A and B are shown apart, each in its own frame.
Chain A
Amino acid sequence: MSRSTKYLKVFAYTYLMFLYAPALLLPIFSFNASQVIAFPLTGFSTQWFETLLYQKTLHEALKNSLIVAISSSILATILGVLASRSATRYSFKGKQVSLTFILAPLVLPEIIVGVALLTVLKQMGLSLNLWSVILGHTLLIMPFSILIMNSAFNNFDISLEEASLDLGENQFGTFYRVILPLVLPGVIASLLIGFTLSLDEFIIAFFLTGTEVTLPVYIWSLFRFPKQLATVMALGTVLLIVSLILLSLSEYFRRRTATTKTPVL
């Protein structure tokens, strides 16, 4: 190994330590007995995880977040499948422009989207509830869903679809019995990524949430109470583990689309 490679390796490990610094503190402080988030540690305790079990407002927020995350990931995936199927299968006028427009939320600062949506809702005199958050999140997740589905549809062999049509299956049947099963891993990956993104999204939820707060909005409100911070650490640890599981699953399904170019007969 040359000397420059050695330096590079040292840098890579140091940088990795920097990246892990906050995440490693999370479990440390969540099992610490003191409610003060600082060193020195005072002893091992699982009490902060226990308080998670008894906080009613937390459960309420979690329920809201789950409703929002499930609904918006499903909506975004349906819209994403439509857009991506259209983009990968057909070439038509205005395709590039309209797709760029649909993918725009990827590069718009979230606060702009949040403020703009809130402006409209206020002007129309609509009240804020979970639906406003769901729609906002769907807008935000859809581009990710499209990108994931694009790779799934790109791996899909069109001749299979033609074969199904030739053999007498109608459009719907072809979609339902041939196309969908083959891109299903992509659909699942899109649902999982969308779910994870929505679960963690704060800015849009902060602007569009009414009286029913989502989990990140609830966490934000806890930051004002120093006594609650140890509980927040425990919550963070749980969230990290849950996202890790979801992510590993989505990666597993994404890989399956990547390798099922030619279906096993």
Chain B
Amino acid sequence: MADSPKSTLKCFRHRKVNVKFMIISNNNRKGWRLLAAPFIFCILLLAAPLTMMFLLSFWTQDYLTLDRTFTLNNYIEAFTQPVYQLLFSRSLFISLTVTFFTVILAYPMAYFISFHGGDRKALWLFLITIPFWTSYLIRMFLWKVILGYNGVLNSFLIWLEMITEPLTFILYNVNAVVIALTHGWAPFAILPIFVSLEKIDRSLLEASRDLGDGPIHQFFRVILPLSAPGVVGAALIIFIPTVGDFITPKLVGGPDGLMIANMIQVQFLKANNAPLAAAISISSLMIVAFISIVFVLVNRKYLRRY
């Protein structure tokens, strides 16, 4: 008999495979049809400009004319001139310090909200984000008001008679930039760490307690490793954009607190040396990407999904 149950089944299976194949190709088409517009938008406004900037970094600009012969001179200048070396290392130092302090301060806060927030968790999160919904520029400017020679902090400390002369090491230098940025990026650390703490299955904590872990052991062996994705995420979210900030150094940094982004801005807009600015931008992007990738790889054993 040709139509044995077995062959029908076989035929059916065959059809099923076909249907599956059709669904996949259908999915491909439908998925891409929807994704096309945003994808093309990003090609035009992100990939193309970045490529253009990459090309530009190998050219030279003489006043207003652009010489399109390939040269590595811009990169050589960016990496050998002491002023750029100084700005690169200072920017990295500031960003890494800011990242460190922000995460260190944010962690206990996130921990407090997640483990002791009770039914007021949402309220705490709301309270934390409120001060950050005014203009970034104005917030950074207010740090100048707080840290200045006649500033809020100095007047307060003099009023308390804790100091007689205003403190001067807190404005127009690297310290001021670090303080202002540590404040400005706080929610970007608190929120991801909070989310990762919330995800921890509380029964794991009971288990570790039952198995004899004290609070300190429990924290370092269970909670901290499980919240690592949030910590790593927070660190990257803060580290990457702060390297490129030029508002804060310009407002509170003074000449000794300027960062690489200030140089990019000056070279691009004022000195009319777009190719050099492009080379510095590409270099900082590479350095930031390299550090971020190393950081993720170092922490990769904690980033597995549990």
Contact = CB atoms under 8 A, between A and B. Distances in A.
B128 A111 contact: no
Contacts of B143: 22
A249 B157 CA distance: 40
A225 interface: no
A160 interface: no
B280 to A, nearest CB: 9
Contact of B109 (A15, A82, A87, A117): A15
Nearest to A40: B155
Contact of A196 (B49, B133, B215): B133
Given A26-B138, A111-B264, A93 B112 contact: no
Nearest to B43: A101
Interface string B25-69: 001101111110111011001111110110010000000000000
Question: Taking each of A119, A122, A202, which has the highest tally of chain B beta carbons within 10 Å of its own beta carbon?
Answer: A119
A183 to B, nearest CB: 14
B274 interface: yes
Nearest to A105: B46
Nearest to A99: B35
A142 B247 contact: no
Contacts, number: 228
Contacts of A37: 145
Contacts of B151: 38
A73 to B, nearest CB: 15
Contacts of A223: 137, 141, 251
Contacts of B150: 38
Interface string B73-93: 000000000000000000000
Contact of A109 (B136, B152, B284): B284
A200 interface: yes
Contacts of B265: 111
- The 10 closest A-B CB pairs, nearest first, are A109-B244, A90-B31, A86-B34, A23-B131, A92-B31, A116-B49, A22-B142, A243-B133, A240-B134, A236-B138
Interface of B: 24, 27-28, 30-35, 37-39, 41-42, 45-50, 52-53, 56, 105, 108-109, 111-113, 116, 126-139, 141-143, 145-146, 148, 150-152, 155-156, 183, 186, 215, 236-237, 240-241, 243-247, 251, 261, 264-265, 268-269, 274, 277-278, 281, 284-285, 288
